């Protein structure tokens, strides 16, 4: 699994990149053989004005299932990344489970 992290209009520190990478490996590591790429895009919606303005979008390319995308907006980079990674992890798990269920039905028939 390849992890690509980019930011727009936001200063991204090495600690944040390490944190997000570890969270992704923890959340998606069990699917590493099925996930080709996880792209994380972080942005600051309204620049230096403050408020709930940090956006995180995670796109995951899953073999045989296409692209799964999740996003969230929150006050800090880490909190929005946590929520988004949790969402995309559940979606990937659901997608993989559906693929396995279909294979089981096809072979049982």
Read off the pTM: 0.85
108/58 Cα distance (integer angstroms): 35
pLDDT tens-digit map of 43-85? 998 877 766 789 999 999 998 778 999 999 999 999 999 999 9
Dihedral angle, C-alpha 76, 78, 80, 86, nearest 10 °? -160
The CA angle 90-70-14, to the nearest 5 degrees, is 100
Domain that holds residue 40: 2-108
CATH of the domain at 50: 3.30.160.100
pLDDT tens-digit map of 8-43? 888 899 999 999 999 999 999 999 999 999 999 999
What is the total count of domains within the chain?
1
């Amino acid at each position: 699994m390849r992890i690509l992290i980019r930011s727009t209009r936001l200063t991204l520190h090495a600690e944040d990149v390490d944190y997000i990478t570890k969270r992704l490996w923890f959340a998606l590591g069990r699917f590493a053989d099925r996930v080709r790429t996880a792209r994380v895009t972080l942005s600051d919606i309204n620049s230096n004005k403050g408020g709930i303005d940090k956006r995180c979008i995670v796109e995951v390319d899953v073999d045989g299932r296409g692209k799964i995308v999740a996003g969230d907006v929150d006050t800090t980079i880490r909190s929005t990344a946590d929520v988004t990674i949790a969402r995309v992890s559940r979606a990937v798990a659901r997608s993989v489970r559906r693929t396995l269920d279909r294979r089981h039905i096809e072979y049982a028939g």
